[in-house]
Chain A
Amino acid sequence: MKYLRLWQLGLLVAIFVLWHVLTKPGLIPPFVFENDQQAAFFFGEPLKIFGRIWAWFVSNHDIYEHLAVTLVETLLAFGIGTVLGLGCGLWLALSPLAAAITDPYIKALNSMPRVILAPIFAVWFGLGIASKVALGVTLVFFIVFFNVYQGVKEVSPVVLANARMLGASQKQLLRHVYLPSATSWVFSSLHTSVGLAFVGAVVGEYLGSSRGVGYLILQAEGSFDINTVMAGILVLTVFALMLDAAVGRLEKRLMKWQPKAGETEKL
């Protein structure tokens, strides 16, 4: 395990070293481009990228405001999308008539390329965080919705019958059987949906905003500042990984009732 981490880190370092060697002007003679400035122009230089990140976080500390905006958008989109998906999933799974009526519309909405809604949301909700949250919600909602729907449909009929025999009312069935069962399915999709919430926020910012990491990237692209673009992508990647790890920890805590593969029975 210790060596695994070492290897992973070594691979990362190797990639950056290779990147540096291939792009640093004057280090090696150009073999793809005509002159030694072009590789740096198209792909950026790792040292300058790190310099940019350093300036953002340490010397200028001017990225926090943008990061906070992106993070708030992500979390809001994630939260609202999950709650809406959970509610609609439970409702449609437990009401076959409603499910039958809405089925073609759900399918249509799901297969629609929803990123295209971003400009409409910008018109409806303005250039603030609301339009980004709306975009993120449309992405997260369907992931959670389909998983909850599936989760409710797959509740063990025996467990359900048992709960009914134990005297559970319809409301208690929802609270004590359907919801926990659906939650396990939601958690299996949380990694995907938190990633999509992030995508929604950044794409929303990229398409029109005055703050956020997506906005920073857009600004840099406008001036062909590839180093800043790359720096923004790196920062976003690291934050996406951190969000994913946070979800993983939450899942581990809340889903401890689920058997894990390879776990021996404790007697």
Chain B
Amino acid sequence: MHRDRTGHSDRRTKLPPHRTAPHRARHRIGRASNEPETPLNPNANPQAALSLVNVACTFVDKSDPSQRYTAVRDVSLTVGAGEFVSVVGPTGCGKSTLLNVAAGLLAPSSGSVHVFGAALAGINRRAGYMFQAESLMPWRTAVQNVMAGLEFRGVADARAQADEWLKRVGLGGFGDRYPHQLSGGMRKRVSLAQTLVLDPDIILMDEPFSALDIQTRQLMENEVLALWAAKKKAVLFITHDLDEAIAMSDRVVCLSAGPGSHPIGEFAIDLPRPRDVAEVRATPRFVELHQAIWGVLREEVLKGYQQQLAA
């Protein structure tokens, strides 16, 4: 449905000249990034858990094929095994599109996705996805939701593992509740357990905590960091909240405003771990990083906002 490459290049020629060439400013602050510079070759980087190579996504209106929208283009992005990478960008810049591509839910119009060196076709079986919106099955209780993935795989002790994970996310006594009987924060924790019980090698998170209040959010962020530190999985974390991105990540990637958004900057976050997301915000290094990234992001955020106003 969105594989029209001619449409994509069409769109590209219409774009202002400063955006036609893929230029990725690489910002090095403190520790140098060990990422390769030019278009990433997955064969050259076999330790990468996930790599997107020159991915572009153009959406075509089914009823009116002349209506196209290129959400992202020229996106090359790698997440190393055990690395926590955040993607930040202005609203509507195609962050979720990228994540859907990485999950295999969306086939890119051009470019390719590699998972541990192998080209991805169909659903990314090695990835767990935590969605932004409500994703629990409303007809299953909390524990049934957590065990769903194991059940699909035919694991024998699904129930026991699900119970254990519910306890780990602090919902031991809530297993028999239906999603509508749980609060928003609890539902997010069930989602977290549902994703992590499968022990995926790659964890994709799409603004998972954006709907939560700030206290619950920091609590959940710390929980995720603790779980991540214990298992050291590759994480691709999408957020619009720069504070959250810096506090949690090893690396922050900035996207430009849409349409045709692409990475415009990459920052290695050298804050020491383990971190407490609330405390780390007060450190001078955090403020320094925040200023540097915001310097790159600000213009794009304004651009994105202007475009939305104009539309």
The reply on A252 being an interface residue by CB < 8 A is no
Contact pattern, A 159-171, Cβ under 8 Å of B = 1, otherwise 0: 1011111111100
B194: which of A164, A166, A176 is its contact (CB, 8 Å)?
A: A166
Which secondary structure characterizes the binding site on chain B?
A: loop
**Provided the pairs A176-B148, A265-B181, A265-B183 are in contact, do residues A161 and B135 lie with their beta carbons within 8 angstroms?**
yes
| One of B28-36, B47-55, B124-132 contacting the partner | B124-132
Q: Is the CB of A180 within 8 A of B149?
A: no
Q: Is A83 an interface residue (CB 8 A)?
A: no
A residues with CB within 8 A of B: 156, 158-159, 161-169, 172, 176-177, 180-181, 183-184, 256-259, 265-267
Given A165-B103, A167-B153: A159 and B178 interface contact (C-beta under 8 Å): no
Q: How far is the CA of A180 from the CA of B140 in the complex (A)?
A: 9
Partner of B139 from A168, A257, A265 at Cβ < 8 Å:
A257
Question: A162-B129, A257-B180, A265-B181 are contacts. A167–B137 as well, Cβ < 8 Å?
Answer: no
**In the complex, A168 Cα to B151 Cα: how many Å?**
9
Q: Are A159 and B194 in contact (CB under 8 A)?
A: no
Bound-state CA distance A70–B194 (Å) is: 49
| Closest CB in chain B relative to A181 CB, distance in Å | 8
> What's the Cα separation between A265 and B185 when bound, in Å?
13
**Cα A160 to Cα B100 with chains together (Å):** 13
Known interface pairs A256-B178, A258-B138, A266-B181; A165-B152 also in contact (CB < 8 Å):
no
B152 and A166 contact, CB distance less than 8 A: yes
Contacts A159-B138, A162-B136 known; 12 new A-B pairs at CB < 8 A: A156-B135, A158-B135, A159-B137, A162-B135, A162-B194, A165-B123, A165-B128, A166-B148, A166-B194, A176-B137, A257-B138, A266-B177
Query: CB-CB < 8 A to A184: which residues of B?
Result: 139
**Would A167 and B198 count as touching, CB distance under 8 A?**
yes
Whether A267 contacts B183 in the complex (CB less than 8 A), given A165-B123, A165-B127, A257-B138, comes out as yes
B299 on the A face (CB < 8 A): no
B195-230 residues with Cβ-Cβ distance < 8 A to A are: 198
Q: A180-B137, A257-B140, A267-B183 are in contact. Are A164 and B123 (CB under 8 A)?
A: yes
- Chain A nearest CB, measured from B135 CB (Å): 4
Q: Which among A158, A161, A167, A259 has the greatest number of chain B C-beta atoms within 10 A? A: A167
Residues of B within 8 A of A156 (CB): 133-135
Write the B157-186 contact mask toward A (1 if CB under 8 angstroms, else 0).
000000000000000000001111111000
Residues of A within 8 A of B129 (CB): 161-162, 165
Q: Is the CB of A163 within 8 A of B138?
A: no
- Chain B minimum-CB-distance residue to A179: B139
List 19 A-B residue pairs with CB atoms under 8 Å apart, sorted by A's residue number: A156-B133, A158-B131, A158-B134, A159-B137, A161-B131, A162-B135, A163-B148, A166-B148, A167-B123, A167-B198, A172-B152, A176-B137, A177-B137, A180-B139, A256-B178, A259-B180, A265-B181, A265-B183, A266-B177
B140 surroundings in chain A (CB, below 8 A)? 257
Which residues of A are found within 8 Å of B138, using beta-carbon distances?
159, 257-258
Q: Is B121 an interface residue (CB 8 A)?
A: no
Q: Smallest CB-CB separation from A266: which chain B residue?
A: B181
A257 with B178: in contact, given A159-B136, A177-B137 (CB under 8 Å)? yes
A181 / chain B contacts, CB cutoff of 8 Å: 139
Q: How far is the CA of A156 from the CA of B139 in the complex (A)?
A: 13
A177 to B105, CA, bound (A): 17
What separation, in Å, do the CA atoms of A204 and B38 have in the docked complex? 77
Q: Could you say which residues of chain B place their CB within 8 Å of the CB of A177?
A: 137
Contact B105 A165 (CB under 8 A): yes
Tell me the minimal C-beta distance from A43 to chain B in angstroms.
Answer: 50
A61 to chain B, nearest CB (A): 44
Give the distance to chain A from B49, nearest Cβ to Cβ, in Å. 16
Question: Are the C-beta atoms of B198 and A166 separated by less than 8 Å?
Answer: yes
Q: Point out the residue from A159, A167, A259 that lies within 8 Å of B149, measured CB to CB.
A: A167
Report A86 CB to chain B, min CB distance, Å. 16
Give every chain B residue within 8 A of A162 (Cβ-Cβ): 129, 131, 135-137, 194
Query: CB-CB < 8 A to A183: which residues of B?
Result: 139
Chain B residues positioned under 8 Å from A266 (CB to CB)? 177, 181
Taken together as a complex, chains A and B put the C-alpha atoms of A165 and B105 apart, in Å, by: 8
* A163 proximity list for chain B (CB < 8 A): 137, 148, 152
Top 4 nearest A-B pairs (CB, nearest first) are A166-B149, A259-B180, A162-B135, A180-B139
